[in-house]
Structure 1
């Protein structure tokens, strides 16, 4: 089953610097990485992106991770080029093993304030163990180019984590108090079968709290009546505990 990833409701929020009447924008535009979501009306920004193959079917061995890139400045009537580097000292992901070769020069599309850097992630050498939880980290650092200065500290560096297990969705802990209890990938798989809204690991809340309570009750009943086991330890999965 499938990504991901990551990993609360994600929203890629565009931003722009606009000209005021009578003023001329003369500074060189800046560029930076941005990854953000809306939480209780507040924009939360992260310095990392999580991409997981955990929800992919087993035959999907490559897919594309997307990292938003934003301009601090003006839109342009033509494509522009930006540069980044790979921080090898802080990177554990291996080129050609965990991700395909990246061109350090990328195109930022004309007329845009936010574009997307695409990284092709590779699955075959990633462990699917929920216990070990292997994450391959790719750290990218924005650099200056002919078209852009790199931004300030904010957004200058971003980490892409690539994994192959069902990492806990952001909304899980918000529902623990409704009886969902501890996180386990088998429990999440069942919830995804119950309703497609549960597939979005990045959602702020997949659904109304009153409605989700009904699905949690159904999950409790399912696990009590249909034996479900941890694939590594073979312990039985119940709503509130693992039974050896």
Structure 2
């Protein structure tokens, strides 16, 4: 009798589940296609990018900063336009003098893209950093996506409609100095950074999942310590722009 009750209950449960499945239907995505700035949790430049011509060759007069974007919706079998524009109230850079907004698109079949912003070198940047706040605008293919969502982990990235690009021609603190580089090179100064560049032969030190291996940073720290000891033996302490002795 007990087994009969169990079988009856099982059959009733299966019949109910099948009935529920018959009533359920897949819902197509019918929202307008949207696009947003992708903020990778592990990226040093997820909210903004600082571009310094000071770490580039003197002959370089322009370069390109790329802003990662992702779509909300489905991929298409044709290229789609992404429209950008500066936010005037938050921008000090001058169009045609400091930057150019280049044509941007999401390629056919793609869910993401890197949007180019052309940065231009000029003498005023030797002493003055300019700021360019770019914003996603409505295009014929995309509406602006998520306005502001801060990612909390690698599996929960953030999103925005805006991205800040800072442009100069003097040595500035790298985006990942306070979060990573300081554990190897200690306090930032322009004098120290120039010394590091000269000694290591590198001007950029990316970290994170796509950056340099941890052991490489340990190696660079050792190289800098030894080079500084040699410098001090020949010249005395290296003093930075704040009047402090450079140490590692």
- TM-score between the two structures when normalised by the length of structure 1: 0.70
Question: Deviations along 1:95-153, whole A, 9 cap, x unmatched?
Answer: 111113x35x6322111122122121111133324xxxx32111112122222121121
Which of the pair has the greater relative contact order for Cα pairs under 8 Å at 6+ separation? Answer: 1
Change beyond 3 A, Cα 1:118–1:45: closer
The structure richer in helix per residue is: 2
Structure 1 segment 1-244 matched on structure 2, within 5 A: 22-36=26-40, 38=42, 46-100=46-100, 102=101, 106-129=104-127, 134-154=128-148, 155-173=160-178, 174-176=180-182, 180-195=185-200, 198-204=202-208, 206=212, 207-208=214-215, 210-225=218-233, 227=235, 238-240=245-247
Report the 3-state secondary structure (helix = DSSP H, G, I; strand = E; otherwise coil) of the residue aligned with 1:199: coil
Partners of 2:123 and 2:197 lie apart in 1 by 26
CA contact (8 A) 2:104 2:116 kept: no
- TM-score between the two structures when normalised by the length of structure 2: 0.69
CA contact (8 A) 2:45 2:175 kept: no
Partners of 1:57 and 1:238 lie apart in 2 by 28
Partners of 1:113 and 1:24 lie apart in 2 by 18
Question: Deviations along 1:151-202, whole A, 9 cap, x unmatched?
Answer: 1212111211111112112444445455x33322332233334435x53343
CA contact (8 A) 2:200 2:220 kept: no
Give unmatched runs, 5+ long, in structure 2: 1-24, 149-159
Q: Cα distance, 1:54 vs. partner?
A: 1.9
Question: Deviations along 1:205-244, whole A, 9 cap, x unmatched?
Answer: 743265344224214314414549779x6x8874239xxx
> For the pair shown, which has the larger CA radius of gyration, 1 or 2?
2
Question: Which residue number in structure 2 is paired with residue 9 of structure 1?
Answer: none
Partners of 2:191 and 2:231 lie apart in 1 by 10
RMSD of aligned residue pairs (Cα, Å): 3.2
Partners of 1:150 and 1:44 lie apart in 2 by 24
CA contact (8 A) 1:28 1:149 kept: yes
Give unmatched runs, 5+ long, in structure 1: 1-20
Q: Cα distance, 1:92 vs. partner?
A: 0.3
Question: Deviations along 1:17-45, whole A, 9 cap, x unmatched?
Answer: xxxx944222122101234351xxxx677
Segments of 4+ moved more than 6 angstroms: 228-231
CA contact (8 A) 2:173 2:188 kept: yes
